[in-house]
Chains A and B, each alone.
Chain A
Amino acid sequence: MVNTKISLCGIEIDNPVIPASGTFGFGYEFAELYDINCLGTFSFKGTTKDARFGNPTPRIAECSSGMLNAVGLQNPGVEKVISDELPKLAKVFNKKVMANVSGFAVEDYVYTCEKLDKEEQVGWLEVNISCPNVHGGGMSFGTSPESAYEVTKAVKAVTTKPVIIKLSPNVTDIASIAAACENAGADGISMINTLMGMRINLKTRKPIIANKTGGYSGPAILPVALRMVYQVYEAVKIPIVGMGGISTAEDVIEMMMAGATAVEVGAANLIEPYACKNIIDELPAVMERYGIKDLNEIIGGAH
């Protein structure tokens, strides 16, 4: 018997496999297919202070070994998430869930986190700092150590739940941003969000995505994610939730060797709805193949 249990910021989970925010909704679509309680946990759809329609369509474009998305954080707003989605979720998922939070001003993050802090079902707050800062000239909070520090500090002040800051890869020095989050009191780092990209329709000679740009995710970005997790592992002591292109049990192990304590699986869920269940089912056999008795022994093993 191998051990797949890991502890993520003080909460033990059965395995390190976590569906990534935005690719698993609030779980119901997948609960129709399999018992989602097999998951370590999952990160629900990015939630904001107010309801958002998101961007116009087309929001999706295909790429080699991946996809672009520009959904634009469509969600019903934190109040509705708490009153409608969480009770429905409780019927199909009896573990702690990871609450993914977005905002366009520091006060937005604080407002949303404060509300979600009171919810028992919520185990962790995953704070996505890749959105543009409306008060800071539209640059994303995640692109400077100063604004990343500011959001982390403000959120930490209103919650006792572990705060995991989700970083954007669209930066020059991700390690310094991770370190700023750690200094501000973050309990963990999750990374990476999507890589900014574009596709152009040759017939119309215009970008395929209505928003023009979209975030690239899927297997193509795995090497970028591995490199960044590896760099951040050297810069911080807090746990890292690694993601970007993971679609097999081997990818999980590789990401953990780079320095991740747990992993998230995103786009793979959209293409193969059983992806996370399959990865969890295959993990023990793959661990045995590589002589791994306990996943804890491989975290950061590549360093």
Chain B
Amino acid sequence: MKQTIFTIKHNVALTANVYEMALVGDTEGIASGQFVNIKIDGLYLRRPISVCDYSEDTLTLVYKVVGKGTEEMAKMVSGQKLDVLTGLGNGYDTAKSGSQPLLIGGGVGVPPMYALAKQLIEEGKKVNVILGFNSSDEIFYKNQFEALGAYVTVTTVDGSFGVKGFVTDALKNTGGYSYIYTCGPEVMLKAVYNAGETSGQYSFEERMGCGFGACMGCTCKTKYGNKRICKDGPVLEKEEIIW
């Protein structure tokens, strides 16, 4: 873990309520599948947001406005400073992916799939991605994934774009996969768990006190024992999950 003061490079709307924020600062130690914890003036608890992308000096986050904290974030402008704890959580392990990993993101579970896709493609793997949204006006990052060289399938619940239905309805479109990485709402994770034919890594959310393992605010039971989502997670292996 590291505490860094970042400077906002840009903070732009991708859809009606999803924003992309790029932050300039020390990104050392950040990995895909991890999250950062952001201090917001006037609010007590920090807000956890997944790492969407990172380079030597820039960290990119994608977040949806759902409450007070994310509302404040949406108002922030370039040049503003942000106090962020980075390097939180275990992140994805790409060694287990096999040659044809399948990445499944639902809603704001899409962002963490981006840095992962980038990494897997750099490792020479053939990456299939399923991005699940409610309708066409909520879609973001489709082009970005395609630009990386990933094979992208989009699903929408109302059928306004791509495959009609849920992410699991697109599993057969992927032409086979060696492993699954996924992040999204818990109902989606469970559906993927039941429909997915291979092992995989699933990223979970929990309400957090500290985000770095000190308070036991986020513990869940797994087949491998009690785990703190913030420190021993947020990524769990399929085999250890207890629903």
Contact = CB atoms under 8 A, between A and B. Distances in A.
A218 interface: yes
Query: When A and B form their complex, which 10 residue pairs have the shortest distance between CB atoms, in order from nearest?
Result: A270-B210, A60-B217, A58-B207, A74-B216, A25-B214, A60-B209, A62-B45, A60-B207, A29-B213, A71-B216
B226 A269 contact: no
Interface in A97-156: none
A271 B45 contact: yes
A271 B44 contact: yes
Interface of B: 1, 3, 39, 43-46, 85, 206-210, 212-221, 226, 231
Contact of A71 (B45, B215, B221): B215
B208 A60 contact: yes
A71 B214 contact: no
Interface in A48-68: 53-54, 57-67
A297 interface: no
B207 A53 contact: no
A11 interface: no
Contacts of B3: 33, 273-274
A9 to B, nearest CB: 26
A22 interface: yes
Contacts of B215: 22-23, 25, 60, 69, 71, 270
Given A25-B215, A270-B209, A271-B39, 18 more contacts: A30-B214, A33-B3, A53-B219, A57-B217, A58-B207, A59-B209, A60-B218, A62-B43, A62-B44, A62-B45, A64-B44, A69-B209, A71-B216, A218-B44, A270-B210, A270-B215, A271-B210, A273-B214
B45 A69 contact: no
Interface in A272-287: 273-274
B13 to A, nearest CB: 23
29 contacts: A23-B214, A25-B214, A29-B1, A29-B214, A33-B3, A45-B216, A53-B221, A53-B226, A54-B219, A57-B206, A57-B217, A57-B220, A59-B209, A59-B219, A60-B215, A64-B44, A66-B44, A67-B44, A74-B219, A74-B226, A267-B209, A270-B45, A270-B209, A270-B214, A271-B44, A273-B1, A273-B85, A273-B214, A274-B3
A24 interface: yes
Contacts of B226: 53, 74
Contacts of B46: 271
B167 to A, nearest CB: 24
B190 to A, nearest CB: 16
Interface of A: 22-25, 29-30, 32-33, 45, 53-54, 57-67, 69, 71, 74, 208, 218-219, 267, 269-271, 273-274
Contacts of A45: 216
Nearest to A66: B44
Given A58-B206, A62-B43, A273-B85, A22 B216 contact: yes
A76 B39 CA distance: 31
Contacts of B231: 29
B207 A54 contact: no
A66 B209 CA distance: 11
A23 B213 CA distance: 10
A59 B207 contact: yes
Contacts of B221: 53
A273 B212 contact: yes
Given A67-B45, A74-B226, A270-B209, A57 B1 contact: no
Nearest to B210: A270
